[in-house]
Amino acid sequence: MEKEMIGFIAENKLSGFELVGKIRRKDKSIFITSDAKSVFNRTLEKLNSKFVFSDTENLWNLFTFTSDINEIKKRQEFFGKLERKENSFLKELSKPRNWWKPKYSLLAVSEDEKTFQELQKLDVPCKFLNSQYDLQDLESYDLVQVIDCDQFTSALERLPQSVFLDSLDEVYLERYLELLSGWQKNLEILARNETSEEIKKITGELVPMLKFLENKSSEKIEREQIDSSLEKVNLEVNCAIEKMSISGASLIAMMSKNKLPDDIVNIIEQAIKKTNLPEHLFSNSVPVALDEKEVEKLMKEQNASEHTTLAENVKKKASELRKIPAMLKKLSDLIVYFDFCSGTSQIISENRVFPEQSLEFSFSEAENIFLDSPQAISFSLDDSSRCSILTGANSGGKTTLIEHIIQMIGFFQLGLPVKGKTRMPLFSEIYYFAKNKGSASKGAFETLLTQMASIKPGSKTLILADEIESVTEPGVAGKIISATAEFFVSKGCFLVIATHLGQEVQKNMPCNSRIDGIEAKGLDENFELIVDHNPVLGKLANSTPELIIEKMSKNFPEEYFKFLNERIRIT
């Protein structure tokens, strides 16, 4: 699956730096109603909570809803191999922004028209050489890259800044270093954190290339150094001459022949040697002066030598540098893949039991990921009890149990492990009718019946309903629930119907159905309901309104609550 997922990342251009946004799923959902889809989406949101990058969540699109158990087993095998890893350091990564530029001006030249056209496509500074006049301004460039030039080879060889290339692939390799510079900090972060073998391999190849970005200057003679040395030379020469006794004959010879005496020349030469600078930069005169042409020539030669040395070193790494764009693209894809694997591993790290396909629906000691401190829950439906009429107190956990069921079906489809042993059919359609939060009305009742009528019943259909009696009159609601359960059970469906009308439904229990109860046992010291959220199979649980009233009488000052509580306790 790794190859398939990385291919999906590349194809959809998912990135940790350029947000693609949410990609809509194209497969047909097994969660038919909007309520069921909502719970499944919340399940995905919980899984996504450990991802650093927003785009990472799109990888769930690869885990399409399936009726193929072999596909689910392949997914289980993939998730079973995940090791728990941290991905929080990915937050330190930032969008790559190129900051490095070569500190020398560069021009690529060619006398071949086709080559010149290719140079233009590379978007690098280039020039077509057609005559000697085209060579005149090349000296102004720090580096001249030469390719496919025969006629002007000799002239170009005389330019110290010329670098001869063998192919177009070697032209302006510095552009790859510019691209690499944007990743410098990210590479350093990745190198010092635990990632995947693939990421380590790529960073291990790219990090050594960062040395080209250091822009370290080689040892060279600076103009300030030359000027300072000139002052020292003249100071030393003047001091030495002041101590000399010059004869009249030497003075006449110096004036007539415009030539310094040998002993003065010797003093000047010794002073210049002490500077450790090239002697041809200085004149044998008093005062000693600089040969500006020679100084300027030295400056150019030094710069050319430095630039061509760097260019030659870059050229030697041409094959590695050309790989940089593809390597960085792959690295970007691998980072998103790592975010998915490591983020998911943190959610499922303690879940190492994979749901199994079965004709029954059951789970034991299962925990709900929506809850911070979940209680382990056990529940089952089988051929003898295909429908659970779930009863119990308000806030007891009936709705939570229904949502937990959807959550586990989602985990099974995705191929994720759960806590506790779980067995279930490979459901093809799940319908969830959530508790109506509005007022009862004829429209709401008709809508519910219409939705129920559209259900495609069968052995792979699961129907979940939460207090559907709220949309119609209480007197007939119990009969509607019983009749609904009877109809869909006869069609082979599985059902869980949460209701407060357990006693009414119990009078007309359909075949292959069971009353289950989530019981409230009392109030704790904070006057909160003490509820065992584990449903007791086969037992009716009261909704315990008296406990709710007692709780409110303790928590609120209104006289009405206290009066109501006392009267209910008397009766």
| The two three-digit tokens of residue 384, written as one number | 């003898």
- The amino acid present at 543, given as its one-letter code, is S
Q: Nearest Cα to 335, choosing from 1, 4, 5?
A: 5
Tens-place pLDDT, residues 508-534: 888 999 999 887 776 666 666 667 778
What is the rounded CA–CA span in Å between residue 546 and residue 541? 14
* Mean pLDDT confidence for 182-203: 96
Sole residue written with tokens 């969660």: 31
pLDDT tens by residue, 361-402? 999 999 988 888 888 999 999 999 999 999 987 777 899 999
Rounded mean pLDDT of 34-56? Answer: 95
Chain centroid to CA 49:
13
pLDDT of residue 494 exceeding 60: yes
d(CA 54, CA 530): 40
| Tokens at 210, concatenated | 């960062």
Dihedral over Cα of 233, 238, 244, 250: its sign: positive
pLDDT of 158 higher than 70: yes
Contact assessment for residue 457 and residue 488, using Cβ atoms and an 8 Å cutoff: yes
pTM to 2 decimal places: 0.77
Judge contact between 420 and 365, C-beta under 8 A: yes
Compute φ and ψ for 380, nearest 5 degrees.
-160, 150
Q: Distance between CA atoms of 315 and 310, rounded to whole angstroms?
A: 8
Assigned token pair, 36? 């069921």
Token pair, residue 390, equals 């779930």
- Enumerate residues 6+ apart whose C-beta is below 8 A from 127: 107, 108, 109, 134
| CA angle 342–332–184, rounded 5-degree value | 105
Q: Tokens 């200085």 correspond to what residue?
A: 282
Question: How confident is the model at residue 357, as a pLDDT?
Answer: 96
Distance CA 549, CA 568 (A): 9
Cα gap 471→484, rounded to integer Å: 15
Per-domain boundaries in the chain: 27-50+352-520, 85-217+292-348, 223-277, 545-571
Mean residue pLDDT of the chain comes to 87
Q: Tell me the one-letter amino acid at 251.
A: L
Distances (CA, A) of 543 to 474, 532, 549, 556: 15, 13, 12, 21
pLDDT, residue 302, reads 62
Is the CB of residue 253 less than 8 Å from the CB of residue 259?
Answer: yes
Asked if 470 contacts 502 with a C-beta cutoff of 8 angstroms, the reply is no
CB 174 within 8 A of CB 314: yes
Whether 440 shows a pLDDT value over 70: the answer reads: no
How many Å is the Cα radius of gyration of the chain?
Answer: 42
pLDDT by residue (tens digit) across 70-94? 999 999 999 999 999 999 999 999 9
Residue among 122, 253, 99, 243 at smallest CA distance from 177: 99
Cα separation, 489 vs 535, whole angstroms: 21
Q: Of 523, 517, 518, which Cα lies nearest the Cα of 548?
A: 523
From 3.30.450.20, 3.40.50.300, 3.20.20.140, 1.20.120.140, which CATH number describes the 27-50+352-520 domain? 3.40.50.300
Q: Which amino acid is located at 72 in the chain? A: I
